[in-house]
Amino acid sequence: MAIATNSIQIPHSVGMQKAGIVCILKVLAYFDIFHYPLTKNEIRQFLGHPLSEINFETSLEQMLADQTIFLHNDFYSLQNNSLLAHRRKEGNLRAGRLLPKAFKIGRFLFHFPFVRAVCISGSLSKNFAEEKADIDFFVITKANRLWIARTIMHLFKKLTFLTGHQHYFCMNYYIDEEALLIADQNIFTAIEVATLVPICGRKTMDSFFSINDWRYQFFPFYNYEHLASDRAGKTWIKIFLEWILANTLGNYLDKWLLKITTRRWQRKSSKGMRNKNGHTMHLVTGRHFSRSNPGAFQERVLDLYEQKLNELKLI
């Protein structure tokens, strides 16, 4: 069911209540892009400005009364569609079943050479999974060894196609310890950073979250951070490969792998090759990062968010 945004009128309230309504609408507008209704506590965590409990509750009540927002099974949404609440519950249940597998795979990936931290990302990090969902991972590597690590991990992933488990090994975003700060700082990346579920590499993840404290400019009240395991990820092959490539040969190989990978993905994009979801394949690359961005997904989400804010007369 599509939302009739043109018919929405923000109630004629003044002062704090009007500010509360605007804050809440901005949160719901973002998640409405994904047809994902929120609980009351989730709305609180993603607020961009402080609201007293009284202001928060009265703003919700006012918007429900005016049918600016709707409530189904404890989930708030811009859409008067009970199926969204049902979809969310089903997705949460699937995520609950899939998360133990994701943790097991993440601990396995942590043993690859030059890997310093592994996190669950994507929709699963937000406790939601579609049917036949992928498991997305965010990986941090040793400085200046990202492209060696990524290549080895993706060579392994090719083997998983033989058993049909490739969707469990979607290593979509890599950074290295040289560049822990996420360059794109917007509501999309703030949510993605805040909702990461660390698996291994506690020391590295502590540094990552500390450096990326800019996310609190968007969500000053979001304080739920999982603790990564500090278990050792050293196997004999990891130790050996890191030792043998701890030199100029390793530097050269890493730069060469960046070059050939970038060239290969540029060819894919220029040919209009598409992934299983029908989106144009695209990889954003640099010396210290690798980010999958099929169909310019981040840009599309930000554009849709701006459109919703315009429709709601919030900007």
- The whole-number average pLDDT for the span 5-29 is 70
pLDDT at residue number 16:
60
Q: What is the pLDDT of residues 120-154, one digit of tens each?
A: 999 999 999 999 899 999 999 999 999 999 999 99
> With 90 as the cut, is the pLDDT of residue 232 above it?
no
Q: What is the pLDDT of residues 278-291, one digit of tens each?
A: 667 788 999 999 99
**CB neighbourhood size of 141 (10 A):** 27
Euclidean distance between CA atoms 289 and 267, whole angstroms: 19
Q: How would residue 223 be classed by pLDDT, with cut points 50, 70 and 90?
A: confident
Q: Name the percent of the chain lying above pLDDT 70.
A: 92
Between strands 170-176 and 136-141, the pairing is parallel
Q: What is the pLDDT of residues 34-67, one digit of tens each?
A: 999 999 999 999 999 888 999 999 999 999 999 9
pLDDT at residue number 225:
66
Q: Please compute, for residue 190, the number of CA atoms within 13 A of its CA located in the half-sphere on the CB side.
A: 21
pLDDT at residue number 294:
81
Between strands 283-286 and 197-200, the pairing is unpaired
Q: Which two tokens stand for residue 306?
A: 């701006």
Q: What is the pLDDT of residues 239-287, one digit of tens each?
A: 999 999 999 999 999 999 999 999 998 888 777 777 776 667 788 999 9
Domains of the chain: 9-80 (1.10.10), 105-301 (no CATH)
Four-residue CA torsion sign, 235, 237, 238, 242: positive
pTM, rounded to two decimals: 0.90
Q: How would residue 1 be classed by pLDDT, with cut points 50, 70 and 90?
A: very low
Smallest Cα–Cα separation from 105: which of 165, 148, 155?
Answer: 165
